[in-house]
């Protein structure tokens, strides 16, 4: 399978610690026989204008079978606009609030979500997550898996990955 990986965080010569987890995802996908093409930013420099570079890289990529974006904004939005293929996006932190907007940009919506994976920092966070979940999906919610985050990531309380039909 050809996968286009889009991320504003990826280890580079000037920032070897930037997005190491994204590089880990890339290695695991490649180890499973997938062909990975990168549209990434590997530096912290450049301010918000660097996202134009990311958009150009995503648009210049060959046609993938699947587009994977790490973070909803800006990577997910850029991937949704550039990909032309099924989109998988990892959202966490403040990005969780933007899932609906990213799905809309990709030509789909919350009601087309088939499955979601929810990872929380503390088991006690599931109660609040469940309350929020019911606001998003008051009837007929999608399939959902849940887990407790095994390590602490500063500022992150919840991570959600969704799969939606186009």
**Residue among 106, 89, 94 nearest 163 (CA):** 89
Q: How confident is the model at residue 74 (pLDDT cuts 50, 70, 90)?
A: confident
Average pLDDT value for residue range 97-110: 79
Structural domains counted in the chain = 1
Higher model confidence: residue 38 or residue 109? 38
Higher model confidence: residue 107 or residue 84? 107
**Domain span at 125:** 2-164
Find how far residue 142's CA is from the centre of its chain: 18
Reading across the β-sheet that carries 87-92, which strands appear in turn?
35-40, 2-7, 66-70, 87-92, 158-164, 113-120, 143-148
Q: What is the pLDDT of residues 109-163, one digit of tens each?
A: 888 888 888 888 888 888 888 888 888 888 888 888 888 877 666 666 777 878 8
**Residue among 39, 50, 48, 47 nearest 10 (CA):** 39
CATH number at residue 88: 3.40.50
User: 41, 7 in Cβ contact below 8 A?
Assistant: yes
Percent of the chain with pLDDT over 70: 90
């Amino acid at each position: 399978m050809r996968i286009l990986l889009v991320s504003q965080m990826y280890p580079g010569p000037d920032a070897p610690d930037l997005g190491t987890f994204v590089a880990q995802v890339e290695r695991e996908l490649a180890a499973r026989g997938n062909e990975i093409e990168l549209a990434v930013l590997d530096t912290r420099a450049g301010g918000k204008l660097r996202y134009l570079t990311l958009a150009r890289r995503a648009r210049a990529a060959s046609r993938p079978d699947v587009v994977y974006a790490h973070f909803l904004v800006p990577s997910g939005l850029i991937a949704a606009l550039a990909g032309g293929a099924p989109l998988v996006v990892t959202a966490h932190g403040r990005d969780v609030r933007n899932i609906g907007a990213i799905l809309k940009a990709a030509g789909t919506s919350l009601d087309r979500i088939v499955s979601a994976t929810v990872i929380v920092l503390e088991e006690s966070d599931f109660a609040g997550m469940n309350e929020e979940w019911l606001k998003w999906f008051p009837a007929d919610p999608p399939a959902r898996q849940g887990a407790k985050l095994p390590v602490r990531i500063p500022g992150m309380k919840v991570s959600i990955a969704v799969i939606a039909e186009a």
